[in-house]
Amino acid sequence: MIRRYSFGTPLPTDAVVCALPAEKGDVPYFTTLRENERVSFTLSLSPEDILFGLGESVRGVNKRGFRFRSWNSDIPSHTENTESLYASHNFLVFFGPSRLFGIYLDDPGAVIWDLGYTRSDTAVITSENGNFDFYLIEEDSLSGLVRTFRGLTGQSYLPPRWAFGYIQSRWGYASEDEIRTVAEEHRSRHIPLDAVCMDIDYMVGFKNFTWKPEAFPDLKRFSTELKQDHLRLVPIIDAGIPAEEGFAQYEEGKAEGVFCKKEDGSEFVASVWPGWCVFPDFLQEKARTWFGDQYRPLLEAGIEGFWNDMNEPALFFTEEGVSEAFARAESLRGSHVDYESMWQLKGSFNGIGNNMNDYRRFFHRIGDASVRHDKVHNLYGAHMTRASADAFRRYDPDRRFLLFSRSSFIGAHRNGGVWQGDNFSWWSHLKMALQMLPGLNMCGFLYSGCDLGGFGSNVTEDLLTRFLQLGVFTPLMRNHSALHTREQEIYRFSTWEMMRDTVTVRYALLPFLYSEFMKAALTDGMYFRPLAFDYPEDTRAVRVEDQLMLGEGCMIAPVLEQNAVGRYVYLPEDMLMIRFRSASDYDLVPLDKGDHRIDLKLNEFPLFVKKNHLVALCAGGESSETLDDRALTVIGRIDRETVYDYYRDDGFSPRPDLQQHLFRISIKPETVCTSTAGVAISKLLI
Ligand code: GLC
């Protein structure tokens, strides 16, 4: 059941797809307080209450004990103190012995989530602008609650099947020769690969929708050449358009009036990678259509996937911001130089990027109204994603395109996936990546993953290996790193064969993981979930922070620590552990409910399967297109007839019908081909 409560004058956000009448009266469970524009909701928490959700955010699966701020931020430092990342996903579930409900604040401005931070027994959620819809969702299970919320916000984006392949990316690939070398290094060593990302270096002067003619003399020919080898190019597109006289996109957009303006009607200009840029007003349909149409030359060159970046929007600096900083610094000139004045001097320039004053300098047109950017800040990236997805649908309505964005808001989950932004090559970030996944899934962002290996700083062989072992299970499996960091393509390392073997597991599992993903997406379910969703009565399981349920019957528990050759795992029921080393090399170990210490050497990682559930493996391959997904080895620990509804489609049609694509695999214990202590293995041809 969903109830909507309306506050102030909510602006359209595109998050919700069902219109509900607004309730009269107060929101149940909370004490509501209005203070100037702000509206806050207070609720006492019992010690047992657990809070799940908030999508892309730091800290644990259980969000209790910290303060978050929904404010889309270009922030390279994802530490425990980071209140805001690139997205605002205002959905939170309260789960305790005597309560179960979810709330969604459809608020495009800043929202503060004080979840037991100021007082450990109190949650206070505050909308800074006070114009929003508050949805209260109640169901009798966690999964039911999320499903109802997702019904409210619409079906998740469906990527093409090739997007489940391994993707190699790095900021710095600057020519087709470099990309060809990356492809060849993978192919010659039989490291599976489906796509290579092109970062800003493919562009002329980092200008959107251009590519360097000398480095990419014939992009269409190059993309065709790669496609013949079952590889795809995935270029980046940034939000800003260079404000350069004579630059076609700038002149055209200016003539169309699609860029954000300042109060005096002049263009808002800020510096990003290409230098001074203007920013499309993605909140206007006209601007979205215009921007979307700019993808056409790339689409015509055969590109089928993109990543949208810098769309919080990131602002390095504005002329006004720089002048203000100099003025502050100037005012200190001549004062006695002590540590305080020195800090003030430094402070004048710190925070010059992504500055709130700049976000207050420009406006959007929403209908006839002019709305200051900071009031709707969190919508910007989502509407860029919307512009792109709409353009792809216009260009080819019969094909799914790959699209993942850095910034997002709920609603964008219908149009694309997300990556988790600029993480570091840190062990703590491996754990953080895992802990973000269930929240993202609750909010509909099923197609997601982190920069495997870490974006910033220098990765080590063991860390990359463990990152890849998590990546085997994340729908987006992309190795990405920053310019000037250690090169981290698999083939750069002495242990590349071990890493390759890890990736082969992804390809053996790809048809199964795709099946689990599509079933979750088409039924408003979750691909990753906290254990609490499956074991709400198990007081141990509900608090597990480093294991996740995957699909209908599986659980992952990767090694997250340096030098560890094993880990403790809690099994809420009897399961089968598949300990992988490669697509063809794995042990099957039945384990009973309870605590276990599992040995996992650096080249080993587990997948746990609930009893009387099945996992299907194909033989693997070097690209998603060349896998034989009809010959499956079905693995399970079964003591009764067990079925698996295997989803299989052409991998690109945009509106697949679930029922038409399900193949029922049914196994009886007595028909198994091989059996190890209750473990059933059977080879099937579908
Ligand atoms: C941003 C992106 C990163 C990209 C870089 C250069 O930092 O988050 O992924 O590599 O910009 O385009």
DSSP-assigned states of every residue in 233-285: EEEEEES-EE--TT-HHHHHHHHHT-B-EETTSSBP-EEETTEEEE-B-TTSH
Closest to 133 in 3D by CA, of 1, 27, 285, 284: 27
Query: For residue 351, is pLDDT > 80?
Result: yes
Closest CA to 13 of 144, 143, 147, 127: 127
| E strands in 484-630 | 528-529, 548-550, 554-556, 566-571, 575-580, 586-591, 594-599, 605-610, 614-617
Given a cut of 70, whether residue 554 has pLDDT beyond it is yes
Q: Atom of ligand 1 at shortest distance to CA of 76?
A: 7
CA distance 522 to 510: 18
pLDDT at res. 448: 98
CA of 422 to the centre of ligand 1 (A): 7
Distance 449 CA to ligand 1 centre (A): 15
The predicted pLDDT at position 330 comes to 87
Q: Are 201 and 210 in contact (CB under 8 A)?
A: no
In the structure, what pLDDT confidence band is assigned to residue 347 with cuts at 50, 70 and 90?
confident
Q: Is the pLDDT of residue 668 over 70?
A: yes
Q: What is the pLDDT of residue 678?
A: 41
Say if CB 170 and CB 200 are below 8 A apart: no
Q: Is 170 in the pocket of ligand 1 (CB under 6 A)?
A: no
Give the type of residue at 686: I
| Residue 389 contacts residue 301 (beta carbons within 8 Å) | no
d(CA 421, CA 426): 14
Is residue 670 very low, low, confident or very high in pLDDT (cuts 50, 70, 90)?
low
Substitution site in 236, 384, 423 for ligand 1 pocket (most atoms within 8 Å of beta carbon):
236
Q: Is 349 exposed, middle or buried (0-12, 13-18, 19+ CB in 10 A)?
A: middle
Which of the pair, 678 or 8, is modelled with greater confidence? 8
Is the dihedral angle over the CA atoms 618, 622, 624, 630 positive or is it negative?
negative
Q: What is the mean pLDDT of residues 384-399?
A: 98
Instruction: Report residue 100: phi and psi, to 5°.
Output: -155, 105
Residue of 581, 586, 608 lying closest to 596 (CA atoms): 608
Q: Which residues contact 36 (CB under 8 A, 6 or more apart)?
A: none
pLDDT band at 35 (very low <50, low <70, confident <90, very high): very high
Q: Could you read off the pLDDT of 411-448 as tens digits, one per residue? A: 999 999 999 999 999 999 999 999 999 999 999 999 99
Model pLDDT for residues 67-125, shown as the tens digit of each residue: 999 999 999 989 999 999 999 999 999 999 999 999 999 999 999 999 999 999 999 99
Segment 130-171, tens digit of pLDDT: 999 999 999 999 999 999 999 999 999 999 999 999 999 999
In degrees, rounded to 5, the angle at the alpha carbon of residue 20 between the alpha carbons of residues 17 and 23 is 145
Backbone angles phi, psi at 495, to 5 degrees: -95, 30
pLDDT in tens, 291-305: 999 999 999 999 999
- As beta bridge partners, residue 41 has 32, 125
* Nearest to 164, CA basis, from 618, 642, 592, 545: 618
Average pLDDT for residues 560-575, to the nearest whole number? 98
Nearest ligand 1 atom to alpha carbon 422: 8
Q: Quick check: pTM over 0.85?
A: yes
Domains in the chain: ranges and CATH: 2-153 (2.60.40.1760), 318-352 (no CATH), 513-685 (2.60.40.4040)
Q: Report the separation in Å between the CA atom of 615 and the middle of ligand 1, taken as the mean of its atom positions.
A: 36
Count CB atoms within 10 A of the CB of residue 592.
Answer: 10
Question: 622-641: per-residue pLDDT in tens?
Answer: 999 999 887 888 899 998 88
Q: Please tell me if the CB atom of residue 237 comes closer than 6 angstroms to any atom of ligand 1.
A: no
Chain mean pLDDT for the chain: 95
Q: Per residue in 181-216, pLDDT tens?
A: 999 999 999 999 999 999 999 999 999 999 999 999
* C-alpha 88 to ligand 1 mean position (Å): 19
| Smallest CA separation from ligand 1 atom 3, residue | 422
Give the number of other CB atoms < 10 A from CB of residue 276.
16
Residue 486 has pLDDT above 80, yes or no: yes
> Which amino acid residue places its CA nearest to atom 5 of ligand 1?
171
309 lines ligand 1 (CB under 6 A): yes
Q: Is 422 in the pocket of ligand 1 (CB under 6 A)?
A: yes
State how far the Cα of 637 lies from the Cα of 29, in Å rounded to an integer: 44
- Burial (CB < 10 A; 0-12, 13-18, 19+), residue 178, is middle
Using an 8 Å Cβ cutoff, are 277 and 243 in contact?
A: yes
Q: Is 466 left (phi over 0), alpha (psi -120 to 50) or beta?
A: alpha
Cβ of 312 closer than 6 Å to ligand 1, yes or no, is: no
Name the 3-class secondary structure at 218. Answer: coil
Q: 277, 241 in Cβ contact below 8 A? A: yes
Of all residues in the chain, the percent with pLDDT exceeding 90 is 90
Question: Is 685's pLDDT higher than 60?
Answer: no
How many CA atoms, within 13 angstroms, populate the side-chain half-sphere of residue 617?
A: 19
Cα of 486 from ligand 1 centre, angstroms: 16
H or E segment and range at residue 631: strand 631-637
682 — pLDDT class (breaks 50, 70, 90): low
- pLDDT value at residue 677: 40
Taking the CA atoms of 570, 576, 581 and 583 in sequence, report the sign of the dihedral they define: negative
Ligand 1 centre to CA of 85 (Å) is 14
Which pLDDT score, from 0 to 100, does residue 673 have? 46
Token pair belonging to 118: 């100021």
Question: For residue 404, how far is its CA from the centre of ligand 1 (angstroms)?
Answer: 13
Per-residue model confidence (pLDDT) at position 681: 52
Q: Are 158 and 521 in contact (CB under 8 A)?
A: yes
What one-character-per-residue DSSP string does 324-376 give? HHHHHHHHHTTS---HHHHHHHHHHHTT-TT-HHHHTSEEEEETTEEEEGGGS
For 223-278, how does the pLDDT look when each residue is reduced to its tens digit (9 = 90+)?
999 999 999 999 999 999 999 999 999 999 999 999 999 999 999 999 999 999 99
Residue 336 has a pLDDT of 76
Ligand 1 probe mutation, 207, 306, 422, 479, most atoms within 8 A of CB: 422
**pLDDT at residue 390 tops 70:** yes
Output the CA 171–ligand 1 centroid distance in Å: 7
Q: How far is the CA of 528 from the centre of ligand 1 (A)?
A: 26
Separation CA 597–CA 287 (nearest Å): 56
